[in-house]
A and B are shown apart, each in its own frame.
Chain A
Amino acid sequence: MDNMKLPKEKVGDFLAKLGKEKFRVPQQMEGSSKFAPLNGESNADFTLSNTTVPPKSIFYPQTETLYRYNVGETAMEAPGEVDEMIIMGIRPCDARALSTVDKLFTWDPVDPYYKSRRDKATMVGLACQEPRTNCFCTSVGGGPASTEGLDILMTDLGDSYLFQVLTEKGEKICQEAGDILVKSDDSDVQAAEKLHNDAAQKIVRGIDSQDIPEKLPQLWESEIWKKVSDPCLGCGACTFLCPTCHCFDIQDEVEGLEGRRCRVWDSCMFKEYTLHTSGHNPRPSRRERTRNRINHKYSYFVDKFGVIACVGCGRCINLCPVNIDILNILSQVKEAL
């Protein structure tokens, strides 16, 4: 399908035509930003760079009911069907994160909750033009205009958005939008490509991640883990706000005679994450927990699924209260061997 253009003044029409209730868009809330449904007035903010809370929360929410039950009975009630969604304005790194996590959730067994949401969602990405200081997507296989995991890639051309259609799902959206979208020509694509290249040039941080997955296992007992984890507070900011972190805990919550089994985000940086009933903890201190976090992203996940489970969005660096910097850790890893 040809590339299309969405004039900026038509964004409202576009949202309305496709059905506002379907959209999940980046929004600035009280003190943070996240993806949320549109409510009433168009409150989408496509100028935000990465949202504070990554869009993973749409696909595996922080709290998800697996089923409901009544105490003393055997019947279970599964949650209802999911509606179609259009995730508009997702940044390429976050979209890559989801296609990374897909590998895990559709592995063995397939996670029906996650899968059904993914199937129902169309991803309309927005190419990055102003990467932040701690963005390093180009070091881990991505880029400010990466198309992985996207159905449409939008590029801000100033007075309009260029829609580069990548999949059938994306085509469907464009057809539905009808004449709200206008045809684009080659000069638009060239302009967009220039913007993409410029953006890639603006990324200041990075690391050569090629040999890291290989090296990490040899550093198991290295003293760097103690050093980098000394200031760690053991909070969940880095993992909860990481677009690829996907660990969860299953809890039964009972109120009176009604109960539900739900899963909630969990973090490998918490002490209770690996705590055994016996009181033994195989990861007794923050040294082991930090080591696990880095190893999981740059070694275990690579072994199993062939990709690094880090997309270089920079959230963990931006939000760490004590300046634990994953790029700094990785460069120490490279030095240590």
Chain B
Amino acid sequence: MADLEKLITVAKETVSRDDVKYLIGWRQGTYGFRVSPHFITEPEEADKLIFSPLCSNNLATYLTLVEKLPVPRGQEADTRKIALMVKGCDSRAVVQQLVEQGIKRESVIILGCPCQGVVDLAKVEEKFPAGLEQVAARWDDGKIVFQFSDGEKAVPREEVLADKCLRCRYPNPVLADTLLWEEVEAGSSSDEYADVSELEAKTPEERWSFWEAQFSSCVRCYSCRNVCPMCYCEDCILDRLNPTWVNRSNNISENTAFHLSRAFHLAGRCIECGECERVCPVNIPIMTLNRKLTKEVREKFAYEPGTDPASKPLQASYRPNDQENFIL
């Protein structure tokens, strides 16, 4: 059970340490059910921290999103640690970043928050249209309770939880320096990739017309790329002009190339936090694309990214007996 007092105490202790630059957690947003990442440098700011079913942001992305500005001459680089609150899925992102050596273990402090699932904002706002009032929420025995000013409203968790949470197999952090409260029961959820199989069962023409409609609506704002904790190349191919891998123009050819490149770069790396799909302003089912590759990776290579800090990245390793029945 989420223990807010413990969380704030630990956060205050952590952020007071000399070797900690800042701590990243969640705070209530400016209206409705929104939550915003909260960057803390002073202990008193920790009072605003929350942990609730509304905290869907994967904060691991900020570990690699931070701009590396040139250090002025005569100054030393700031090598202090960054403290980070993680849910189960977020911790997989941290692990995968460690596996890929995108971050250094000694540069992060991981505060693990065992999690009972976060909500899908669209599902919630369908039930309770978002008003200006800031609404908090909490877990309560199979239900999500929303705390409105005129009383509480409980909803069965299945009705509002994000799809990724309904099939979550890693509710507890895979890796943490401090576990903030006791682990939650992993439950019996399994992941059969029903969404992927449904699409696979269609003909290639049907599949293309599905994706064609989806890719055409893309506005190329790149929020899916930027929010992804695994997308942290310093020089992304999408920004490059020489060679131009993907033209800037928005049409079905370039949009498809963009989505295929993005998905492929996550093959064997996607930890299924679902952030890309959550942030998409035009609601492209990006996870349905990513999950095809996670499924293949799991079936063909028995690999699950972000679960073992000692593993090697899938595409930087091989087994001589990898299956190859498609090769002529």
B partners with A: yes
Interface pair B132/A321, CB less than 8 Å apart: no
A258 CB to nearest chain B CB (Å)? 13
Contact B282 A240 (CB under 8 A): no
Report Cα–Cα, A184/B217, bound state, in Å.
40
A32 at the interface (CB under 8 A from B): yes
Contact B39 A231 (CB under 8 A): yes
* Contact stretch, chosen from A9-17, A97-105, A210-218, A322-330: A322-330
A236 pairs with B37, CB closer than 8 A = no
The answer to whether B132 touches A205, judged by C-beta atoms less than 8 angstroms apart, is yes
B283 to chain A, nearest CB (A): 3
- Give the chain B neighbours of A133 by CB distance below 8 A: 31-32, 130-132
Interface of A is mostly: loop
B34 touches A321 (CB 8 A): no
Q: Does B104 contact A (CB under 8 A)?
A: no
**Which residues of the partner chain A approach B283 to less than 8 Å between Cβ atoms?**
30-32
Given the interface pairs A237-B221, A322-B36, the reply to whether A272 lies near B239 with Cβ below 8 Å is yes
Q: Say if the beta carbon of B184 comes within 8 Å of chain A.
A: no
Q: A53-B282, A205-B132 are in contact. Are A253 and B31 (CB under 8 A)?
A: no
Specify which chain B residues have a CB less than 8 angstroms from the CB of A205 in the assembled complex.
31, 132
Q: Is A29 an interface position by the 8 A CB rule?
A: yes
- CB of A290 within 8 Å of the partner chain: no
A21 to B225, CA, bound (A): 37
Q: How far is the CA of A323 from the CA of B57 in the complex (A)?
A: 10
Contact of B249 among A262, A319, A323 (CB under 8 A): A262
A33 to chain B, nearest CB (A): 9
Asked if A117 is at the interface of the complex by the 8 Å CB criterion, the answer is no
Residues of A contacting B71 with CB < 8 Å? Answer: none
A53 vs B281: C-alpha distance when bound (angstroms): 9
- C-beta contact mask, B264-289 vs A, less than 8 Å → 1, else 0? 00000000000100111111110000
Report A-chain residues with C-beta under 8 Å of the C-beta of B250. 62-63, 264-265
Verify B39–A328 contact, CB threshold 8 A. Answer: no
Q: Is the CB of A231 within 8 A of B281?
A: no
B227 touches A321 (CB 8 A): yes
B280 closest partner in A (C-beta): A31
For B39, give its contact among A230, A321, A324 (CB under 8 Å).
A230
Given contacts A240-B219, A322-B36, A322-B37, A234 and B279 within 8 Å (CB-CB): no
Size bracket of the A interface? 35 or more
- Write the B2-37 contact mask toward A (1 if CB under 8 angstroms, else 0): 000000000000000000000000000111101111
When distances are taken between beta carbons in the complex, the residues of chain A under 8 Å from B279 are: 233, 235, 237, 321
- In the assembled complex, the Cα of A321 lies from the Cα of B36 at a distance in Å of 9
CB distance from B228 to the nearest CB of A (A): 9
Give chain A residues whose Cβ lies under 8 Å from the Cβ of B282. Answer: 30-32, 52-53
Kindly identify, within residues 30 to 89 of chain B, every residue whose CB is under 8 Å from any CB belonging to chain A: 30-32, 34-39, 57, 61-62, 65, 67, 69
Q: Is A249 an interface residue (CB 8 A)?
A: yes
Give the shortest distance, in Å, between A129 (CB) and chain B (any CB).
15
A224 at the interface (CB under 8 A from B): no
Query: Which A residues lie within 8 Å of B34 (CB)?
Result: 323
Using an 8 Å CB-CB cutoff, how does the interface string of B146-178 with A read, 1 for contact, 0 for none? 000000000000000000000000000000000
A271 interface contact, C-beta 8 A = yes
Instruction: Give, as a whole number of angstroms, the nearest-CB distance from B60 to chain A.
Output: 13
Among B30, B35, B38, B67, chain A packs the most CB atoms within 10 A around the CB of B30
Q: A120–B175 Cα gap in the complex (Å)?
A: 61
Is B261 close to A, CB under 8 A?
A: no
* Cα–Cα, bound, A233→B37 (Å): 11
By a CB distance below 8 angstroms, the chain A residues around B67 are 271, 284-286
In Å, the complex CA distance between A328 and B30 comes to: 7
With A62-B250, A234-B226, A272-B239 already in contact, the answer to whether A323 and B221 are too (CB < 8 A) is no
Residue B214 lies at the interface, judged by CB distance under 8 Å to chain A:
yes
Q: Which residues of A contact B32 (CB under 8 A)?
A: 133
Contact B39 A204 (CB under 8 A): no
Cβ-defined partner of B57 (8 Å) among A204, A241, A264, A322: A322
A31 to B217, Cβ gap below 8 A?
Answer: yes
Task: Check if A53 sits within 8 Å of B219, measured CB to CB.
Answer: yes
Which of B65, B221, B249 is in CB contact (< 8 Å) with A236? B221
Task: Answer whether residue B251 sits at the interface, using C-beta atoms and an 8 A cutoff.
Answer: yes
Is the CB of A134 closer than 8 A to any CB of chain B?
yes
Residues of chain B contacted by A328 (CB below 8 angstroms): 30
User: Which residue of A31, A235, A270, A324 is within 8 Å of B284 (Cβ)?
Assistant: A31
In A19-42, which residues have CB < 8 Å from any B CB?
Answer: 29-32, 34
Residues of B contacting A264 in the complex (Cβ-Cβ under 8 angstroms)? 248-250
Determine if B217 and A323 form an interchain contact, defined as CB atoms under 8 angstroms apart.
no
A222 in contact (CB, < 8 A): no
**Is A50 an interface residue when CB atoms closer than 8 A count as contact?**
no
> Which residues does chain B contribute within 8 Å of A295, judged by CB atoms?
none
**Does the CB pair A233–B223 fall under 8 Å?**
yes
Please state if A235 and B227 are interface contacts (CB–CB under 8 Å): yes
Q: Does A251 contact B (CB under 8 A)?
A: yes
Interface centre among B37, B62, B214, B223 (most CB of A within 10 A): B223
Of residues 190 to 226 in B, which have CB atoms within 8 Å of A's CB atoms?
213-214, 217, 219-223, 225-226
Contact between B30 and A32 (Cβ–Cβ < 8 Å)? no
Q: How far is the CA of A286 from the CA of B69 in the complex (A)?
A: 11
| A267 touches B (CB below 8 Å) | yes
Nearest CB in chain B to that of A262: its residue: B249
- Further contacts, 9 of them, CB under 8 A, given A52-B281, A63-B248, A323-B36: A30-B213, A62-B220, A227-B39, A230-B39, A235-B223, A236-B222, A262-B249, A284-B67, A323-B35
User: Mind listing 5 A-B residue pairs with CB under 8 Å?
Assistant: A32-B282, A231-B57, A235-B225, A271-B67, A285-B69
Give B contacts to A, CB under 8 Å.
29-32, 34-39, 57, 61-62, 65, 67, 69, 130-132, 213-214, 217, 219-223, 225-227, 239, 247-251, 275, 278-285
What 7 pairs across the A-B complex have the smallest Cβ distances? A31-B283, A321-B279, A235-B223, A32-B282, A236-B221, A323-B29, A63-B249
Binding site for B on A (CB under 8 A): 29-32, 34, 52-53, 62-63, 133-134, 204-205, 227, 230-231, 233-237, 239-241, 249, 251, 253, 262, 264-265, 267, 270-272, 284-286, 317, 319, 321-325, 327-328
